[in-house]
Structure 1
Amino acid sequence: MTADVVRSLVSTAWLAEHAADPGVRVLEVDGEAARYYDGHVPGALPVDWLDDLHAPVRRGFADAPALAALLGRLGVTPTTHVVLLGDAHNTYAASAFWLLRYYGHGPLSLVDGGRRAWEVEGRPLSTEVPEPAPADYPEPSPVSSVRASRDDILQRFVPGLPGTALLDCRTQIEYEGHGARGVDLPVERHRVPGHMPGARNLDSIDVLDEATHRFRPLPELRAMFADRGVEPDTEVALYCRLAERSSLLWFALHEVVGHGRARNYDGGWAEYGSLVDVPVER
């Protein structure tokens, strides 16, 4: 899949051609930013998904003032074309894309396949760290249509109101409540295993090609969502543990398939699985 299919998805070839364009800022987003310094896409700047995009004290993503300050430090203005890629199946970059979309940033793209595709193609890496001039980024306003809050989940999606659907983007083992993926982070402790009532399971990495981590062809993506009850007028809420994998699936549904009624539940199972007296299925 290439940038010709959907504007918010660009190819590695596009990135190689346009990374140095005026008005383009390339950001590598990862859960462990140290890898950036071993080699990165030339001209890219590092963003640490946990430290830079989350609040330092409370649970949750960075608020509007914090995000504006971060973007300003990165030399980003509201008209800068921000291009995102990363490791870990591009999930952290997709999460950054969703967060920037939520806060209404305009020119915004995700690199299809992320760093994996860039490296598979043998494209160059650099250890030079750019030093952008700081920019003035005004405090943004959220776009609520792409986010599912806890109240949305409890009042509309878990009860299964007509015209709604829930997609659990975790592994089948997590969905069935038999185990966890990876090491628990502090924001995940005290949660119970299982899934939300009525949720259908679609592991986020199933929408990617195994070798290149690019998105699968559009007909395959459409079929995957349709098989899980997503119809053209269905409002869908997607969740995982911490909203990084669900961001990838949200991107596939909202940006690639073009399903405008898709919401990412950023509280994820870290929040829902810790709530008292809410329904859980296994």
Structure 2
Amino acid sequence: MRCKSLFAVLLGTVFVVFQASRVLAGAADVLVSTAWLEENLDNPDLRIVEVSVNPGQFERAHIPGAVNFVWHTDLVDPVQRDIASAENFQKLLREAGISDGTTVILYGDTNNWFAAWGAWIFDVYAVPNVKLLDGGRAKWEDESRPMTNRVASYAPGNITLGERNEMIRARLSDVMAVVDGSDQAKLVDIRSPDEYSGRIFAPPGVQELAVRAGHIPGAVNVPWGEAVAADGTFKSADELRKVYAAVGIDGSEPVITYCRIGERSSHTWFALSKILGYEVRNYDGSWTEYGNTVGVPVVNLAGTVWGGK
């Protein structure tokens, strides 16, 4: 019995060490530091892509050699609400000089919200060797690293995309299956506490609205900012694990992240799936779809009612 107990302890220790090393390797595989990127600006096998939300950022100045992807025209279908088609996305990547062997570094403003959303789209199309600049544009600027307003141009790349990987994307029907109990998953609402409680419908100044406030039944609230340190970089894997374990998210069940239109939740999707290795889907329909859908249950703790203004 003593031998069996000792074997179990040793086996458990090996498993924990393996999991820890896998997570650390995962973070190294999907994030690059500002120092590393500056040292590799001239690497011909590297392509840097800015995905910012605020207009004029790239045009004002950007990381040398970077190309600009405009989130609301380049990364989405221009007519129906959907991400860019495989044909259009492949054309975009080739025009940016991206080939099958290229390593892509994504960065942007607002703590990489839309850069992370771009990383999620790259993952939907199973593009390998895609990483985020940890800390994004703000950290690069704060450290006075080189910037330019010169727009780079590259010879067309030859990347070829396959079919979409829908396994990392949640639809309304998937969320409803969790709500009605026919499927098991943890719902993580990464919006602000005021949005989650229903006190406000959306952050000030945004145009995309839902006519109902509140959150999806069963969802826990972990605002996206809890995943980052003061300088905008992701917290360590151990810190992230504790943040989410505090609300019952420990990787033992699949996770669905959502926000308002799917971009902030991509940041949390990245932390949970890429750094911690959990099984995660991003619900890009998010609250603007769910909160505008007739007949779905809503939890509105604040009891606010939309008045059409």
Deviations 1:56-94 (A, max 9, x none): 111122121111111111111232111000001110100
Residue 221 (structure 2) aligns with: 201
Residue 258 (structure 2) aligns with: 239
In the alignment, the residues of structure 2 paired with residue 136 and residue 182 of structure 1 have an alpha-carbon distance, to the nearest angstrom, of 42
In the alignment of these two chains, the number of paired residues is 277
Deviations 1:74-128 (A, max 9, x none): 1112321110000011101000001101110011100110011111212111111
In the alignment, the residues of structure 1 paired with residue 273 and residue 295 of structure 2 have an alpha-carbon distance, to the nearest angstrom, of 32
The question of whether the paired residues in 1 share the 8 Å contact of 2:261 and 2:285 is answered with yes
The answer as to 2:62 corresponding to 1:40 is yes
Structure 1: tracts of 5 or more residues without a match? none
The question of whether the paired residues in 1 share the 8 Å contact of 2:215 and 2:298 is answered with yes
The question of whether the paired residues in 2 share the 8 Å contact of 1:8 and 1:109 is answered with yes
C-alpha displacement of 1:47: 1.2
In the alignment, the residues of structure 2 paired with residue 182 and residue 27 of structure 1 have an alpha-carbon distance, to the nearest angstrom, of 28
Q: 1:70 corresponds to which letter in structure 2?
A: L
Q: 1:251 corresponds to which letter in structure 2?
A: F
The question of whether the paired residues in 1 share the 8 Å contact of 2:48 and 2:66 is answered with yes
User: Which of structures 1 and 2 has the bigger CA Rg?
Assistant: 2
Partner SS for 2:163: coil
The question of whether the paired residues in 2 share the 8 Å contact of 1:146 and 1:262 is answered with yes
Q: More deviation in 240-249 or 129-138?
A: 129-138
Counterpart mapping for 1:1-282 below 5 A: 5-155=27-177, 157-160=178-181, 163-179=184-200, 180-185=202-207, 188-210=208-230, 212-259=231-278, 261-282=279-300
In the alignment, the residues of structure 2 paired with residue 201 and residue 264 of structure 1 have an alpha-carbon distance, to the nearest angstrom, of 15
In the alignment, the residues of structure 1 paired with residue 50 and residue 87 of structure 2 have an alpha-carbon distance, to the nearest angstrom, of 21
Deviations 1:206-250 (A, max 9, x none): 21123x101122222101111121123210000001111000001
- What TM-score do the two structures reach when normalised by structure 2? 0.85
In the alignment, the residues of structure 2 paired with residue 120 and residue 184 of structure 1 have an alpha-carbon distance, to the nearest angstrom, of 27
The question of whether the paired residues in 1 share the 8 Å contact of 2:52 and 2:70 is answered with yes
Partner SS for 1:82: strand
The question of whether the paired residues in 1 share the 8 Å contact of 2:210 and 2:287 is answered with no
Tell me how large the CA RMSD over aligned residues is.
Answer: 1.9
In the alignment, the residues of structure 1 paired with residue 182 and residue 274 of structure 2 have an alpha-carbon distance, to the nearest angstrom, of 24
Runs of 4+ in 1 over 6 A off after TM superposition: none
Deviations 1:183-207 (A, max 9, x none): 333xx34531110000000111121
The question of whether the paired residues in 2 share the 8 Å contact of 1:165 and 1:235 is answered with yes
Q: 1:265 corresponds to which letter in structure 2?
A: Y
C-alpha displacement of 1:33: 4.5
Q: Percent identity?
A: 37
Deviations 1:13-55 (A, max 9, x none): 1111123212110001111342111111111111111121111
Q: 1:26 corresponds to which letter in structure 2?
A: I
Structure 2: tracts of 5 or more residues without a match? 1-23, 301-309
C-alpha displacement of 1:4: 8.4
C-alpha displacement of 1:5: 4.0
Higher strand share: 1
Q: 1:278 corresponds to which letter in structure 2?
A: V
